[in-house]
Amino acid sequence: MSKRFSRINFHTETVERFKKYALANDANYTETLEAILDFFEQYSINPFEPFDDSKQRLEALINKRMDGVEAILRRIENEQTKPTKALLDRLFNQQEEEQPKFVERKLK
């Protein structure tokens, strides 16, 4: 089943810019337009807002992800590292506290 095509009217200058962009990226017009739309949707960039706002949004997203990584590391520390260290400390301290069963005596 072939895909259907539709038409949209653009200004001539915009069409020429788009054609040059598509040729420069070695893609047909549909692929180029889909790639552009996917890019804006994937990165949540609004082309009608100044880019500074987008950078701030991106910085906030990175900070959220860093907070998530920090939470994961704290959870690993609490659930794995600290209990393991406590267990090892008990094992090593237990050996030091035990009195030896046999004590060597030296004859004079």
Label residues 26-62 b or e (16+ Cβ within 10 Å = b): eeeeeebeeeeeeeeeeeebeeeeeeeeeeeeeeeee
Q: Contact at 8 Å (CB) between 44 and 57?
A: yes
What separation in angstroms does the CA of 7 have from each of 12, 30, 80? 14, 11, 60
Listed by start position, the domains of the chain span 11-42, 52-95
| Stated pTM of the model | 0.45
pLDDT tens for the 108 residues of the chain, in order: 678 888 999 999 999 999 999 999 999 999 999 999 999 898 888 888 776 666 777 888 899 899 999 999 999 998 988 889 888 888 888 755 566 677 778 876
Alpha carbon distance 74, 78 (integer Å): 6
